[in-house]
């Protein structure tokens, strides 16, 4: 039997959706205390407010739990269990608060050496104290050792399987997953072989008995029945790889694009729809090659690095390339460590202007400015795919805050044949994503001014000009309805990202530069 193509898989950490900041130990500690606890406390005391808020489109992606206001006792039990079992994570979170308060009051530009004994005990040995050149104190985490400690607990990881038949799915980052009759909860750390064996079942069949063994199920009855409903005898349709001499690229939605050239396959920011009937046609898990040579991650935002998809395709992926981080800042966890600790084998960190040779060409890491609320974050790269005949640039949410960058870049890489650029130019304020990491309140006006915003019209057209782009594609706009559970963006014709991207495409058209805003599904062949 095969696993059905519409089995949905939610990776969880203590029943909360496993997004990247919930995997790296330090950011997880802060998110448990500053996000999850607050949401659960608020739901327990006023469930109806949550039930109403999730129905209000203006509150989409807000801190509200989508459980109809009716599951207070279960949320209470979950909260109490987490408080008890993850007490050490609460201590870790508190220690970051204490360390930052300590540095704010004691580190005044003189040697930091005498301050080491006063570091919160549980952080000693895990942090090095540093100044920047203007005597602003900070600290660098030894993240690799934190992953080896009790603060990275694989036993909290699990996957929840259920059948899905539509794009309708609640926003996952503010609603913990509770058990129900339609879902099979598999306790398995993400690094476990059984995770790969399970997802191989979408393309390789096994006996029912073996599948039960993979899932560690030894009973009979209801669970068996549920598992059977996830399986089918129907094999998936075979994949036809591209065999031409140029490049074929396919858009899978948002920032997910598959490139095939010279026998090499490259997939950007994997995020796939399951396969079910819909009036919006799309590529899905069912349209993947048997082997993906390179997965490339542009940056550490939850709509670009999605463990739900990554875990399901891991058995097909040869290498994952991620941007190298700036080394130990709380806001900038290492994707290399995160992926390796979650069981991914060939993970490569790439630097700016560093290259990886492929058949027929190279992958080049390019600078990515902005879109991270001016925080010092190194984990972001645009990429150039250069083949013998073509150059394609994937800029993701790069915000062209400094056009000179692209003038310098043009001298190095020359003209770009096809530019792929995100234009989510409104963006959320700093606290929406990074709030739990802050140990000091930030003024509202300051917060609002520091956004997670991509390029607007002026910034995008200047990029097109500097790089002398021959084709322009706007992507990563979060518009596909099957992404609502993670992206939560709903634009109208008057929203700035739509107005600005329309204007960009019109200007390009006037100049004879073909382009479009990608939506749903698209395939282009470059000879």
Stretch that binds Fe ion, among 100-108, 132-140, 294-302, 517-525 (CB under 5 A): 294-302
Under a CB-based contact definition with an 8 Å cutoff, are residues 420 and 395 in contact?
Answer: yes
In angstroms, what is the minimal distance from the CB of 76 to Fe ion?
Answer: 34
Between 147 and 432, name the residue whose CB sits nearer to Fe ion.
Answer: 432
Q: What's the rounded Cα separation, in Å, for the pair 442 and 438?
A: 8
Stretch that binds Fe ion, among 158-166, 228-236, 242-250, 297-305 (CB under 5 A): 297-305
Greatest pairwise CA separation for the chain in angstroms: 70
| Interface pick for Fe ion out of 30, 301, 380, 386 (rule CB under 5 A) | 301
Per DSSP, 489 falls in state -
Strand partners, 130: 138
- Residue 486, CB-side half-sphere exposure with 13 Å CA sphere: 26
Strand partners, 163: 7
Between 397 and 500, name the residue whose CB sits nearer to Fe ion.
Answer: 397
Residues in the chain: 527
Q: Please say whether the dihedral angle defined by the alpha carbons of residues 425, 431, 432 and 436, taken in this order, is positive or negative.
A: positive
In angstroms, what is the minimal distance from the CB of 424 to Fe ion?
Answer: 6
Stretch that binds Fe ion, among 313-321, 324-332, 346-354, 475-483 (CB under 5 A): 475-483
Q: What's the rounded Cα separation, in Å, for the pair 415 and 184?
A: 51
Q: What's the rounded Cα separation, in Å, for the pair 147 and 319?
A: 22
Q: What's the rounded Cα separation, in Å, for the pair 301 and 311?
A: 17
Write each residue from 343 to 382 as x if it is in contact with Fe ion (CB under 5 A), else as -, in one continuous string.
Answer: ----------------------------------------
Kindly state the number of chain residues that form the binding site for Fe ion, as judged by CB under 5 A.
Answer: 4
Write each residue from 302 to 331 as x if it is in contact with Fe ion (CB under 5 A), else as -, in one continuous string.
Answer: -x----------------------------
The DSSP line for 383-401 is EEEEESS-EEEE-TT---S
Q: What's the rounded Cα separation, in Å, for the pair 346 and 319?
A: 5
Between 35 and 301, name the residue whose CB sits nearer to Fe ion.
Answer: 301
Between 339 and 483, name the residue whose CB sits nearer to Fe ion.
Answer: 483
Between 14 and 424, name the residue whose CB sits nearer to Fe ion.
Answer: 424
Between 301 and 314, name the residue whose CB sits nearer to Fe ion.
Answer: 301
In angstroms, what is the minimal distance from the CB of 269 to Fe ion?
Answer: 8
Pairing of strands 157-163, 184-186: antiparallel
Phi-psi region of 109 (alpha: psi -120 to 50; beta: other; left: phi over 0): left
Q: Please say whether the dihedral angle defined by the alpha carbons of residues 10, 12, 17 and 19, taken in this order, is positive or negative.
A: negative
Pairing of strands 7-13, 471-475: unpaired
Strand partners, 176: none
Q: What's the rounded Cα separation, in Å, for the pair 270 and 491?
A: 23
Q: What's the rounded Cα separation, in Å, for the pair 194 and 187?
A: 11
In angstroms, what is the minimal distance from the CB of 335 to Fe ion?
Answer: 14
In the block, tokens 């996957």 appear at 159
Between 161 and 267, name the residue whose CB sits nearer to Fe ion.
Answer: 267
| Interface pick for Fe ion out of 66, 143, 397, 500 (rule CB under 5 A) | 397
Stretch that binds Fe ion, among 29-37, 110-118, 131-139, 300-308 (CB under 5 A): 300-308
In the window 228-267, what residues touch Fe ion (CB under 5 A)? none
In angstroms, what is the minimal distance from the CB of 371 to Fe ion?
Answer: 5
In angstroms, what is the minimal distance from the CB of 449 to Fe ion?
Answer: 18
In angstroms, what is the minimal distance from the CB of 201 to Fe ion?
Answer: 31
Between 301 and 386, name the residue whose CB sits nearer to Fe ion.
Answer: 301
Q: What's the rounded Cα separation, in Å, for the pair 348 and 264?
A: 17
In angstroms, what is the minimal distance from the CB of 463 to Fe ion?
Answer: 16
In angstroms, what is the minimal distance from the CB of 118 to Fe ion?
Answer: 37
In angstroms, what is the minimal distance from the CB of 397 to Fe ion?
Answer: 4
Contact status: 86 vs Fe ion (CB under 5 A): no
Between 43 and 383, name the residue whose CB sits nearer to Fe ion.
Answer: 383
In angstroms, what is the minimal distance from the CB of 452 to Fe ion?
Answer: 6
Query: Which parts of this chain interact with Fe ion (CB under 5 A)?
Result: 301, 303, 397, 476
């Amino acid at each position: 039997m095969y696993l059905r193509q519409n089995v949905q898989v939610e990776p969880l950490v203590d029943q909360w959706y496993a997004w990247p900041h919930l995997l790296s130990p330090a950011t997880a500690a802060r998110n448990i205390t500053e996000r999850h606890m607050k949401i659960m406390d608020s739901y327990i005391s006023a469930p109806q407010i949550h039930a109403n808020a999730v129905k209000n489109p203006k509150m989409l992606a807000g801190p509200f739990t989508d459980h109809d206001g009716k599951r207070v006792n279960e949320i209470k039990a979950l909260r109490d269990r987490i408080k008890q079992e993850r007490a050490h994570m609460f201590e870790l979170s508190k220690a970051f608060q204490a360390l930052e308060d300590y540095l704010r009051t004691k580190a005044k530009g003189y040697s930091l050496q005498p301050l080491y004994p006063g570091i919160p005990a549980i952080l000693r040995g895990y942090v090095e104290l540093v100044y920047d050149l203007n005597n602003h104190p900070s600290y660098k985490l030894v993240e690799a050792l934190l992953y080896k400690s009790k603060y990275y607990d694989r036993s909290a990881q699990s996957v929840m399987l259920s059948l899905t038949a539509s794009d309708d799915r609640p926003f996952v980052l503010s609603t913990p997953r509770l058990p129900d009759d339609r879902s099979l909860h598999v306790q398995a750390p993400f690094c476990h072989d059984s995770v790969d064996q399970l997802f191989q079942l979408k393309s390789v069949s096994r006996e029912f008995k073996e599948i039960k063994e993979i899932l560690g199920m030894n009973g009979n009855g209801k669970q068996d029945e549920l598992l059977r409903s996830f399986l089918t005898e129907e094999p998936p349709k075979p994949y036809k790889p591209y065999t031409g001499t140029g490049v074929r690229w396919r858009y899978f939605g948002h920032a997910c694009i598959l490139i095939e050239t010279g026998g090499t396959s490259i997939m950007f920011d994997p995020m796939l729809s399951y396969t079910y009937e819909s009036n919006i046609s799309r590529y899905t898990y069912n349209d993947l090659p048997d082997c993906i040579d390179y997965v490339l991650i542009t940056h550490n935002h939850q709509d670009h690095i999605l463990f739900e998809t990554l875990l399901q395709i891991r058995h097909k992926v040869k290498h994952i390339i991620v941007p190298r981080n700036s080394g130990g800042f709380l806001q900038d966890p290492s994707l290399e460590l995160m992926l390796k600790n979650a069981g991914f084998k060939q993970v490569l960190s790439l630097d700016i202007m560093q290259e990886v040779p492929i058949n027929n060409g190279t992958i080049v890491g390019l600078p990515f400015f902005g879109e991270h609320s001016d925080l010092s974050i190194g984990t972001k790269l645009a990429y150039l795919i250069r083949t013998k005949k073509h150059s394609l640039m994937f800029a993701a949410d790069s915000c062209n805050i400094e056009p000179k960058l692209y003038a310098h870049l043009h001298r190095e890489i020359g003209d770009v044949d096809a530019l792929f650029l995100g234009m989510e130019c409104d963006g959320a304020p700093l606290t929406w994503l990074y709030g739990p990491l802050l140990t000091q309140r930030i003024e509202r006006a300051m917060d609002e001014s520091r956004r997670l915003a991509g390029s607007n019209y002026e910034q995008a057209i200047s990029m097109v000009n500097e790089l002398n782009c021959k084709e322009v594609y706007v992507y990563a706009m979060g518009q596909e309805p099957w992404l609502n559970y993670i992206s939560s963006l709903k634009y109208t014709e008057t929203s700035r990202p739509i107005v600005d991207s329309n204007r960009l495409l019109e200007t390009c058209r006037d100049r004879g530069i073909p382009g479009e805003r990608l939506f749903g599904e698209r395939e282009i062949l470059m000879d």
